[in-house]
Structure 1
Amino acid sequence: MLDHRRLTILIALALGLWLGATAFIRLLPAALSDPIWVSASFAAMAPLGWLSVQVIGRLAGLKGPDLLAGVAVVGAVAMMIDGLVLAWRPEVYAPTQSGARLGGAWLLWGYGLSLGIALWMSRANTK
């Protein structure tokens, strides 16, 4: 169950993960613009997505269906922040529109992958 304490933890995790991803996009622009690095950055999201789901579950004390719900809360909060920043302050991610677009693509990939991993993990824990 996602009680008030767990929701607070999940929102804090969303902010922390958002800040980390934003720092990555901002400080390592070549990781999303260079053809070799971008492939590595997208591939690295598989273990990072798995790790983030593990951290979310452990810190918020979530298992089974609650794990998927918790990851969805974290993703929803972070995606709403991304939407606002990409619409009104894309320079937070990168000094160019192209850089912000590439960062947005990487973020979407990471959110989708993390949600898929959480779905798989939550189904595996209910059997």
Structure 2
Amino acid sequence: MIHSQPNRIGLTSRQTLLLVFAGASLWFLAAVLLRIIAPMGALEGTMRGVSYALVIPGTYPFVLLTKWLVALRDDQMAIGIAVATTTALLIDGIVVAWFPAVYGGHLPQVTNCTAIILWGAGVALLLGFFINKGEYK
């Protein structure tokens, strides 16, 4: 049985497992999207700036969806999004090191894809911190 008591980071075991699943799922969606748009030049030249800018409004709904799906309280947003983002970053590191073909296999495309994943992770963390309200109870 999954415990409903908060763990040392203030989340229940259920919330933590759901956040890990959410982080992995969001990484997968981002990887699929990047695999499609990177060969079109979306991460090169002037389009790189456009793509980076679009990550900001594109990440916000996923942060709110994660809050809703995991039933995070306002005071759990920073830590909750940090857990999901950590999961995505760990997967990204493994993919870049051992499975770069996921991002296309060629160095410029792989580095462009992983760079925007890093940017998206930073955006998600900032949103989690800004949305976080109150103190942990």
- TM-score when normalising by structure 1: 0.90
How many residue pairs get aligned? The number is 124
Structure (1 or 2) with the larger CA radius of gyration: 2
- Show the counterpart of 2:64: 54
Q: What residue identity is the alignment partner of 2:70?
A: A
- Show the counterpart of 2:5: none
- TM-score when normalising by structure 2: 0.84
Sequence identity (%): 27
- Show the counterpart of 2:113: 103
2:89 equivalent among 69, 72, 79: 79
Q: What residue identity is the alignment partner of 2:43?
A: L
Structure 1: where are the runs of 5+ without partners? none
1:53: Cα distance to partner? Answer: 1.3
1:6 equivalent among 15, 29, 53: 15
CA distance in 2, matches of 1:67, 1:48: 18
2:42 equivalent among 22, 27, 31: 31
Is contact 1:57-1:63 (8 Å) kept? yes
- Show the counterpart of 1:21: 30
1:65: Cα distance to partner? Answer: 3.0
Runs of 4+ deviating beyond 4 Å:
none
Q: What residue identity is the alignment partner of 1:126?
A: G
- Look up the SS of the partner of 2:72 in the other structure: coil
More helix by share: 1
CA distance in 1, matches of 2:75, 2:97: 33
After superposition, give the CA deviation of every residue in 1:69-104 in whole Å (9 maximum; x if it has no partner).
110000111100100110111111123111000011
- 1:90 has 2:91 as partner: no
Q: What residue identity is the alignment partner of 1:32?
A: L
1:37: Cα distance to partner? Answer: 2.3
Is contact 1:25-1:94 (8 Å) kept? no
CA RMSD in angstroms, aligned pairs only: 1.4
